[in-house]
Amino acid sequence: MRATFSLGRLAGVRVGVHWSVLVIFVVILLGLAGGRFPEDHPESAAWQYWFASSVTAAVFLLSLLAHEISHALVARRNGVPVDDITLWLLGGVARLKGEAATPGAELRIAGVGPLVSLLLGGVFALAAGLLDAVSDAGLAVEALAWLAGINILLAVFNALPAAPLDGGRLLRAIVWWKTGSPLRATAVATGAGRLLGWVLVGLGLYLVLVGAAFSGIWLVVIGWFVLAMATMEGGQARLRELLGGIPVSDAMTPDPVSVRATTTVSEFLADPTFRFRHSAFPVVDDGDRAIGLVTVKSADSVPEAERASTAVSRVMVPVDDLPTPHPDDPLARLVPELQVSAAHRALVLDGSRLVGIVTSSDISRVTSWLSSSSAWRGRAL
């Protein structure tokens, strides 16, 4: 899930918003301003309903952000780097660059999200009760009560023991702790996720048939999302198992053709060395240290009149935004980093020296060979 636009950084984590957030914002806005608020408080003016609904929807989105930020901060505290957070139609996603090293770390990372939502629900409920006791601001009390209920519901739903929900991570941590096998734990959690997904889809279709079309369609969408994500996580777990024991050096292209940082875009595009071979090239400085990656697409996007005066270093992806494994690092650990990387490439470094490059295609080539190799299957047995 890629962000449509960025909100900057919060607590050192990049935060973005997908365009689909507008859908949930409008749904909440219409549901409150056109339904719940006028029904419970008919004495208020129309503009008050819309204003209160807008503020309530915005605070709810901030609640989702707090939920995801808590995951990111605890993950970082437990040694798991965080790529970014994206708010979208069905909530938020905190993308981690790796996995927890122990069941305890997994438990802490997963458990903090529902706890934060539950805490926010309690805070909003307390605020609603206090405001109701000291004033007659009925609309504000109603908004706080709705925020309390939706955050508690969010906490309960996320605590269901099924991947990709937080409860699925908790289930995975417990099974991992009991069995000592993170792969078996993932299989259990993703199996529960697929089951939950089908249950939600079935319940949604039933609601559509009995006339509750909006609620039914919404449940089908959520169920399908849970089902798809659980299936994807299961596939990633099988991939990690297949790649177990394989170093990055077995998949990388060694000594890749690189571009000097001072090379201009026009020189880069005109040089026969860079034509028709690859779509991206590492960028190195005068000391042969890797500093980034330039793609033909990004270079070609520079206006023709500016290409002669624009160095490739100005249009490259900085090395800090790329996976940079060591040749001896496990290839399985690189897979999720490549998936979240916008460039879908990793520069393999020995210190600061560039020794290779790995692409998603390289991973596919290795996995295809491992899957079809009778020698490897015999070794695995």
| Catalytic sites, residue numbers | 68
At residue 93, φ and ψ (nearest 5 deg) are: -135, 120
- 44: β partners: none
Nearest to 204 by CA among 228, 221, 192, 181: 221
Q: What is the CA radius of gyration of the chain?
A: 25
85-123 burial, b at 16+ Cβ within 10 Å, e below that, comes to bbbbbbbbbbbbbebbeebebbbbbbbbbbebbbebbee
Distances (CA, A) of 62 to 25, 120, 221: 12, 11, 23
Q: Give helix then strand counts, H and E, for the chain.
A: 13, 11
Distances (CA, A) of 116 to 65, 107, 144, 211: 11, 14, 17, 35
Please tell me the distance from the alpha carbon of residue 308 to that of residue 267, in angstroms, as a whole number.
Answer: 7
Place of tokens 């734990």: 185
Place of tokens 């629900």: 121
Please tell me the distance from the alpha carbon of residue 1 to that of residue 165, in angstroms, as a whole number.
Answer: 16
The type of residue at 360 is S
Cβ distance 100 to 109 under 8 Å? yes
Distances (CA, A) of 363 to 30, 278, 310, 324, 345: 46, 16, 33, 15, 10
Please tell me the distance from the alpha carbon of residue 119 to that of residue 154, in angstroms, as a whole number.
Answer: 11
Please tell me the distance from the alpha carbon of residue 365 to that of residue 323, in angstroms, as a whole number.
Answer: 19
Please tell me the distance from the alpha carbon of residue 88 to that of residue 368, in angstroms, as a whole number.
Answer: 34
